[in-house]
A = this chain, B = another copy of it.
């Protein structure tokens, strides 16, 4: 696998030259993170339906275990067990609205990944950057396990494990482990591990930082070792069950699913589950005794275990919900980890917003009242007090609100408005509001997915590489 080794070296070189400001060496993180033998054993999965325009083009790349949907172009890249969902891209002729401007899109947008190493990473949505209309491009970049790249063009960056880049164009930046950024644009910046940072121009800014101690427990990352900690261990527990799903070609739905809902055949389902109308459960999601009310969605790498979601619940990419009851319209952000226990369950009231990258890990029962925003690290009622604010309260904030490690600046009402608007949009896109005729979304469009399964060369100079593949409708 000499040629593949060379590709790794070339990509690492490109990342390092982009991150030379920080004297950053990507090699220390990347070496060892991908077991080379697995690159030969795993397959890539290309999803296709009649509802999604597709264009897959893969060249000089390794795609082991990755999943693609929509319009995805990959060159000189190593994608390992990653999900690239080009099913929300802009279409030719669309008008892209940005700060009062309307810019016409002159071609169908594609997700383009080039000179990059993505490990167990989710890439989704369309480019929110007004400067990159027709390409959501990820280039000269490496991302570590369970990173999310969402609506963000990224160039010359390193994303730590369980980090999320959301609607943020990144240049030459390092995002630390379990950090979340949604700040529009970032250049030559190093975000410390465990930072949750949302900023919208001068309107508002939300900032929270996990303590080093907490971080170490949940996600430990040091160079030269594979990331560890409770999150990695958690993801490993059902690895083999997932593999069995990917190993078998025919599929029989493990439970009945309403006509307007969809349960992906690569979702892992155990125990007794209920799937309501307009529900979307995508690949690599896990349901274990989950009750999903109408219009709920469970996205990639989400786990819903012994829990009930009343309806119109967004469970963003990578969120885990265990022993919990969520009221209607509760939003759970990216990579959040909500873990009750059977004797200390979690209850979240209607229309609460669980901020991205929130950890609620209980040793006693906890009830979060309706219409609250929560963040940070919550183990009990005391922690909750320090990590929550009612949506009504926050809406009244005009300048600043500080609560322990959280600082909010700017207009609370604008922040809440923006958040609610986005949640509404997510529900709509996912098909929560489908009435049998209008408002079709992912839940309805993903009912008849076909899968093309492709393999790498097993031997010879191209060992580990996939052939050049181009698939169009």
Note all chain B residues with C-beta closer than 8 A to A452: 452-455, 469
Give complex CA distance A450, B41 in Å: 10
Q: Quick check: A470 and B470 within 8 Å, CB to CB?
A: yes
Note all chain B residues with C-beta closer than 8 A to A455: 48, 450-452
Q: Quick check: B249 and A246 within 8 Å, CB to CB?
A: yes
Q: Quick check: A50 and B470 within 8 Å, CB to CB?
A: no
Q: Quick check: A467 and B472 within 8 Å, CB to CB?
A: yes
Give complex CA distance A229, B29 in Å: 64
Give complex CA distance A456, B457 in Å: 24
Q: Quick check: B469 and A470 within 8 Å, CB to CB?
A: yes
Note all chain B residues with C-beta closer than 8 A to A460: 49-51, 448
Note all chain B residues with C-beta closer than 8 A to A49: 457-460
Q: Quick check: A467 and B54 within 8 Å, CB to CB?
A: yes
Note all chain B residues with C-beta closer than 8 A to A398: none
- The residue from B248, B459, B461, B469 contacting A249, defined by CB atoms under 8 A apart: B248
Residue A381, interface by CB 8 Å: no
Q: Quick check: A448 and B453 within 8 Å, CB to CB?
A: no
Q: Quick check: A453 and B249 within 8 Å, CB to CB?
A: yes
- The residue from B248, B471, B473 contacting A248, defined by CB atoms under 8 A apart: B248
Residue A379, interface by CB 8 Å: no
Q: Quick check: B50 and A461 within 8 Å, CB to CB?
A: yes
Name the distance in Å between A442's Cβ and chain B's nearest Cβ: 15
Main secondary structure of the interface of A (DSSP, over half): loop
Q: Quick check: A50 and B456 within 8 Å, CB to CB?
A: no
- The residue from B54, B246, B248 contacting A247, defined by CB atoms under 8 A apart: B248
Name the distance in Å between A76's Cβ and chain B's nearest Cβ: 16
Nearest residue in B to A465 (C-beta to C-beta)? B473
Q: Quick check: B463 and A467 within 8 Å, CB to CB?
A: no
Nearest residue in B to A452 (C-beta to C-beta)? B454
Q: Quick check: B467 and A458 within 8 Å, CB to CB?
A: no
Residues in A226-255 with C-beta less than 8 Å from chain B: 246-250
25 pairs of residues in contact across A and B, judged by CB atoms under 8 Å: A49-B458, A49-B459, A50-B457, A50-B460, A50-B461, A50-B463, A54-B467, A246-B249, A247-B248, A247-B250, A248-B248, A248-B249, A447-B459, A448-B457, A448-B459, A449-B458, A450-B455, A450-B456, A450-B458, A451-B455, A452-B452, A452-B453, A452-B455, A468-B470, A469-B471
Give complex CA distance A54, B467 in Å: 9
Residue A411, interface by CB 8 Å: no
With A249-B249, A452-B454, A456-B450 as contacts: A471 and B461 at CB distance below 8 Å: no
Give complex CA distance A473, B459 in Å: 13
Residue A462, interface by CB 8 Å: yes
Name the distance in Å between A330's Cβ and chain B's nearest Cβ: 33
Note all chain B residues with C-beta closer than 8 A to A249: 43, 246-249, 453
Nearest residue in B to A473 (C-beta to C-beta)? B467
Residues in A420-456 with C-beta less than 8 Å from chain B: 447-456
Q: Quick check: B473 and A462 within 8 Å, CB to CB?
A: yes
Given contacts A50-B461, A54-B467, A450-B457, 16 further A-B contacts (CB under 8 A): A43-B249, A48-B455, A49-B457, A49-B458, A246-B249, A248-B249, A249-B249, A448-B458, A448-B459, A449-B458, A450-B456, A451-B455, A467-B471, A467-B473, A469-B471, A470-B471
A210-237 interface bits toward B, Cβ cutoff 8 Å, 1 = contact, 0 = none:
0000000000000000000000000000
